[in-house]
Structures are given as C-alpha cells and as structure tokens.
C-alpha cells in the first residue's frame, strides 16, 4: 500500500486521522466512564451474550433461526439506509 492508497484509506493524513480517532476515543471513554460503564465488564458481558446467542441458536433450531433472520431484517432497516446515505454523501471515505 503506497502513500496515496494509505491516505485514501484513512480519509486524509494518517497521522491526523490517528490523532482524531484518539481524541474521539478519549471523549467517548470519558462519557462512558461518567455514566458508570466499565470496559472490562462491558466486554465480559458482550462475550457472555454472544456465547448465550450461539447456545440459543444451536439449541432452539428453526425458531431461533427465524428470530435471527428477523433481527437481521430489523437491523438492516436501520444499517443499510445509514450506510447508503454515508456512501452517497461521501462521508464513509
């Protein structure tokens, strides 16, 4: 990946992008800490929930698959238009 590809991938100067992401991470981290969320607990619960989801899918069969597909459709109703808007406005670059 040469310099132009890296610049295109990061959406500008790689150092500027890195500093911007670090700044945003600090702000988001501060907000999450302020409302009492702990990253270790959050990741632990997330892994536990993913484990429960996999277990649920494996044990419930067709009904679980239909629920997952329903979640996919509901998520897609929000995610796809947002992605499309970002792509059309050039914000995702």
Confidence of residue 62 (pLDDT cuts 50, 70, 90): confident
Number of H helices, E strands in the chain: 4, 0
| Look-up of token digits 């067709």 | 62
DSSP state of 76: H
**Coil, strand, or helix at residue 9?**
helix
- pTM exceeds 0.85, yes or no: no
d(CA 90, CA 93) in angstroms, rounded, equals 6
Question: What are the structure tokens assigned to 84, written together?
Answer: 């499309």
CA atoms within 13 A on the CB side of 76: 6
Q: What's the mean pLDDT when you consider all of the chain? A: 83
Contact 42, 49 (CB under 8 A): no
Confidence of residue 2 (pLDDT cuts 50, 70, 90): low
What is the model's pLDDT at position 3?
A: 67
Question: What are the structure tokens assigned to 60, written together?
Answer: 């419930």
């Amino acid at each position: 990946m040469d310099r132009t590809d890296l610049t295109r991938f990061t959406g500008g100067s790689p150092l500027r992008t890195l500093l911007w992401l670090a700044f945003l991470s600090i702000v988001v981290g501060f907000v999450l800490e302020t409302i009492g969320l702990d990253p270790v607990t959050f990741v632990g619960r997330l892994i536990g929930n993913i484990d429960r989801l996999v277990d649920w899918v494996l044990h419930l069969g067709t009904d679980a698959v239909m629920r997952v597909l329903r979640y996919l459709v509901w998520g897609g109703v929000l995610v796809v238009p947002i992605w499309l808007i970002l792509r059309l406005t050039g914000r995702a670059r």
